[in-house]
């Protein structure tokens, strides 16, 4: 008679979330404060030199969280509870937006990627703002 294998059930270890430290603000800004692109000189076979522009990797909060060994959810909780981190995160988003805009204008990112990313990361929208109140009526009185 074949011997039955016993299944071992392991209980997942409880992971303690990374505790916030004030130096994470500076690390976040340093992570996002990168040049939008770099230019490299390439020497061709005929001896002529051409310049090749390469977009920087777009920094993201997911990549920063990975570098810290945590999650985006933890970063969001820090934003809601630590004003200094909230300010650093907003500055990081501004830096991220600048990289996206600079590379999009230079043609380093595809147009569809740039539009999609700007809408999702920067909150950009198509069309005009429809949130205004009722139209304003202006009238002139003659004397």
Domain ranges of the chain: 23-121
β-pairing, 49-55 with 37-43?
Answer: antiparallel
What number is the average pLDDT over the span 124-137?
72
Estimate to the nearest angstrom the gap between the alpha carbon of 5 and the chain centroid: 48
Architecture of the domain whose range is 23-121: Orthogonal Bundle (1.10)
Mean pLDDT over the full length of the chain: 88
C-alpha triplet 44, 49, 51: angle, nearest 5°: 110
Q: What is the pLDDT of residue 91?
A: 97
* pLDDT band per the 50, 70, 90 thresholds, residue 122: confident
């Amino acid at each position: 008679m074949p011997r039955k294998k016993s299944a071992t059930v392991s209980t997942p270890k409880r992971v303690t979330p990374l505790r916030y430290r004030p130096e994470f603000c500076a690390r976040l800004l340093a992570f996002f404060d990168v040049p939008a692109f770099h230019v490299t000189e390439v020497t061709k076979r005929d001896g002529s030199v051409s310049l090749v522009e390469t977009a920087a990797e777009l920094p993201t909060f997911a990549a920063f969280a990975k570098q810290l060994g945590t999650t985006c959810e933890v970063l969001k909780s820090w934003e809601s509870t630590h004003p200094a981190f909230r300010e650093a995160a907003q500055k990081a988003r501004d830096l991220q937006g600048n990289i996206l805009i600079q590379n999009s204008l230079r043609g380093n990112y595809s147009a569809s990627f740039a539009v999609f990313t700007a809408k999702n990361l920067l909150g950009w929208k198509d069309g005009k703002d429809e949130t205004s109140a009722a139209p304003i009526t202006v009238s002139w009185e003659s004397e």
